[in-house]
A and B are shown apart, each in its own frame.
Chain A
Amino acid sequence: MLGLLRIWYFVTWVLVISLSVSCCNFAFVKDFKYADSHEWVKVDGNSATVGITDHAQDHLGDVVYVELPEVGASVKQGEGFGAVESVKATSDVYSPVSGKVVEVNEELSNSPGLVNASPYEEGWIMKVEISDSGELNKLLDSEKYTKFCEEEDAH
């Protein structure tokens, strides 16, 4: 029974993602919110999960190391909370929300490549207890983010 539920969940997830892909070549998830610095956030009540987008991981190339924040640390919207390193370069990552870090994805220490393979699911970086949900209005929805990516890539 649980097995069927997992399959159903997976199928729905795949459909959500495939329905979301537009003329831009990168995937995004419709209900997530996005920062123009290429981080995504999935909000569930007071809890936010944060990662970097498909567009970002593609530009970075193979991720070889993720500098995770400390659990318990405070983060502020727009401020750096860690870094993602690829073969080519190091990139700072900026928190799309303010709050307290409650969990980090330890899997990334062994498998930093998850950021490339599954940027919206297994490649999540941190979970935050949001302190100011009003700030979410400053983020982009999937449509605005896609447009933003297209404009950037057009240069």
Chain B
Amino acid sequence: MRGAGLWQLGQSITRRIAQGDKKAVARRYFASEAELKKTVLYDFHIANGGKMVPFAGWGMPIQYKDSIIDSTINCRQNGSLFDVSHMCGLSLKGKDSIPFLEKLVIADVASLAPGTGTLTVFTNEKGGAIDDSVITKVTDDHIYLVVNAGCRDKDLAHIEEHMKAFKAKGGDVSWHIHDERSLLALQGPLAAPTLQHLTKEDLSKLYFGEFRILDINGARCFLTRTGYTGEDGFEISVPDENAVDLAKAILEKSEGKVRLTGLGARDSLRLEAGLCLYGNDMEQHTTPVEAGLTWAIGKRRRAEGGFLGAEVILKQLEEGPKIRRAGFISSGPPARSHSEIQNEKGETIGEVTSGGFSPCLKKNIAMGYVKSGSHKAGTKVKIIVRGKAYDGAVTKMPFVPTKYYKPS
């Protein structure tokens, strides 16, 4: 057994079983571990059995003592605590924050109620995705955003460039990048009951997509009821100096049922929930319409445009996109990124962008892009894995039903 191959999580490389001729590569790989950025929970992860791997320039835990499969199942049965401090949180402030941000994203930021947020996409001039992000309108002059770790430099350069031009014309906006804060994601059925032990705020009144600034375990936190797993849960932005204590408190209050969970399970969970991974399911050339995120383009924005690439996107809304993201279930080995998708006649109709084994469904699930027309649920396909064709079918996403906490 050699060359364990690239794993699908962004640019992550698993610990290869180094071969004689690849020992040199393995040594270089480990030498660069010293240059990896560390979150404040790095030592805490190791103390808890975390297996660390490089991810987007950070040393992050891919898993702990339990297997990725067990970890994934535990999240949906009990709960998971993730360290996602590698992601970049920032605040836009100033009375023109909303019109400024609306130039860069597809969301109708103006009509978000204060204290609510949404998933959005930063677009480029061609209507393609620069990154996806969860944005929250805290107040009319404060917007809180979280962007992907792998896109941090690109996103910040993009925002900064546009901010300079906006300010030069007299616009009132400034930013603060929250490098003094850590981000924890608490997901699963026990997320709310566990967190309730640590705060006086009534969490039953905080619905999916909503945001509060409040005290949790004695620290001033930004709390968003959101996540990347399809489960009910929260993302908690906590000052660095309180992060380890908060993590410990969450695990203790759950009496061990909520477990520290790594990036391996995080990827399985988000795939089961039908959520895109930027870099795999969405790239610079993918429009939000192709990605199935038309719902995220605000109604007013569809009429008015006013964001980068609006002409391309509005045209696609009118005429329909040529390709669409779809979900697949397949037999045989799990379909992986770049596997070819064919129709029943053997003609190429698309490509897989993410795939793997679903621990909860015990089936192979995948996401990919196919020609419009071939994207309807039930369409039979063939997926080519290592030269062999395996039967598959287009399946509605999410693969595992979501449990977002919404008012009844």
- Of the candidates A60, A83, A87, the one having the most CB atoms from chain B within 10 angstroms of its own CB is A87
Q: How far is the CB of A32 from chain B (nearest CB, A)?
A: 15
Q: A65-B357, A67-B333, A93-B1 are in contact. Are A87 and B17 (CB under 8 A)?
A: no
Q: Tell me the minimal C-beta distance from B390 to chain A in angstroms.
A: 11
Question: Given the complex of chains A and B, what is the CA–CA distance between A64 and B264 in angstroms?
Answer: 14
Size bracket of the B interface:
20 to 34
With CB as the reference atom, state the residue of chain B lying closest to A148. Answer: B20
CB distance from A151 to the nearest CB of B (A): 9
Q: Which residue from A52, A65, A91 sits with its C-beta under 8 Å from B334? A: A65
Interface residue from A52, A61, A87, A88 paired with B1 (Cβ < 8 Å): A52
CB distance from A146 to the nearest CB of B (A): 15
Cβ-defined contact, A39 with B1, below 8 A: yes
Interface residue ranges of B15-30 to A (CB < 8 Å) = 15, 17-20, 23, 26-27, 30
Residues of B within 8 A of A59 (CB): 4, 15, 17
Is the CB–CB distance between B357 and A87 below 8 Å? Answer: yes
Residues of A within 8 A of B6 (CB): 89
Given contacts A52-B1, A88-B7, contact A36 B20 (CB under 8 A): yes
* Residue A43 interfacial (CB < 8 Å): no
Contact with B along A57-77 (1 / 0, CB 8 A): 001111011010000000000
B18:A155 contact, CB within 8 angstroms: yes
**A124 CB–B CB distance under 8 Å:** no
* List of A residues within 8 angstroms of B386 by Cβ: 67, 83, 90
Q: With a CB–CB cut-off of 8 A, which chain B residues contact A152?
A: 17-18
Give A65 Cβ to nearest chain B Cβ, in Å.
4
- A34 vs B350: C-alpha distance in the bound complex, in angstroms? 42
In the bound complex, CA of A67 to CA of B4 (Å): 15
Q: Is the CB of A65 within 8 A of B2?
A: no
| Residue B218, interface by CB 8 Å | no
- Closest A-chain residue to B332, C-beta based? A65
CB pair A84–B1 under 8 Å, yes or no, is yes
- A85 vs B69: C-alpha distance in the bound complex, in angstroms? 13
CB distance from A39 to the nearest CB of B (A): 7
Q: Is A102 an interface residue (CB 8 A)?
A: no
Most buried by A among B6, B264, B336, B357: B357
Q: Tell me the A1-50 residues at the B interface (CB within 8 Å).
A: 36-39
Known contacts A67-B333, A85-B334; is-contact A94 B68 (Cβ 8 Å): no
Closest-by-CB residue of B relative to A52 is: B1
- Interface positions, chain B 217-267, Cβ under 8 Å from A, are 264
> Is the CB of B353 closer than 8 A to any CB of chain A?
no
The reply to whether the CB of B356 lies closer than 8 angstroms to some CB of chain A is: yes
Provided the pairs A62-B69, A67-B333, A155-B26 are in contact, do residues A87 and B4 lie with their beta carbons within 8 angstroms?
A: no
Q: Is the CB of B3 within 8 A of A92?
A: yes
Q: Are A91 and B1 in contact (CB under 8 A)?
A: yes
- Kindly state the separation between the CA atoms of A38 and B18 in the bound complex, as whole angstroms: 11
CB pair B2 A87 closer than 8 Å: no
> Would you call A136 an interface residue if the criterion is a C-beta within 8 Å of the partner chain's C-beta atoms?
no
Interface check B268, CB cutoff 8 A: yes
Query: A56, B333: Cβ atoms under 8 Å?
Result: no
Are the CB atoms of A60 and B357 closer together than 8 Å?
A: no
State the Cβ distance, A63 to closest chain B Cβ, in Å.
10
In whole angstroms, what is the CA distance A91 to B7 when docked?
Answer: 11
Q: How far is the CA of A52 from the CA of B17 in the complex (A)?
A: 13
Known A65-B357, A155-B26, A155-B27; contact A91-B5, beta-carbon cutoff 8 A: yes
Closest to B68 in A: A87
Q: Are B264 and A61 in contact (CB under 8 A)?
A: yes
Cα distance A60–B4 in the bound complex, in angstroms: 8
Q: How far is the CA of A65 from the CA of B390 in the complex (A)?
A: 13
Whole-angstrom distance from the CB of A42 to the nearest CB of chain B? 17
How many angstroms between the C-alpha atoms of A94 and B1 in the bound complex?
6
* Whole-angstrom CA separation of A52 from B7 in the bound complex: 20
Other A-B pairs beyond A64-B357, A92-B2, 18, CB < 8 Å: A52-B1, A60-B4, A62-B67, A62-B69, A64-B356, A65-B333, A65-B357, A85-B334, A88-B62, A89-B5, A90-B386, A91-B1, A91-B2, A116-B67, A155-B18, A155-B23, A155-B26, A155-B30
Q: Which 10 A-B pairs have the closest CB atoms?
A: A64-B357, A89-B4, A65-B333, A62-B69, A89-B5, A87-B68, A91-B1, A62-B67, A38-B1, A88-B7
What is the interface of chain A, defined by CB distance below 8 A to chain B?
36-39, 52, 56, 59-62, 64-65, 67, 83-85, 87-94, 116, 152, 155
23 A-B contacts, Cβ less than 8 Å apart? Answer: A36-B19, A38-B17, A52-B1, A56-B17, A59-B15, A61-B67, A62-B69, A62-B357, A64-B69, A64-B356, A67-B333, A83-B333, A85-B333, A88-B264, A89-B4, A89-B6, A90-B5, A90-B386, A91-B4, A93-B1, A94-B1, A152-B18, A155-B27
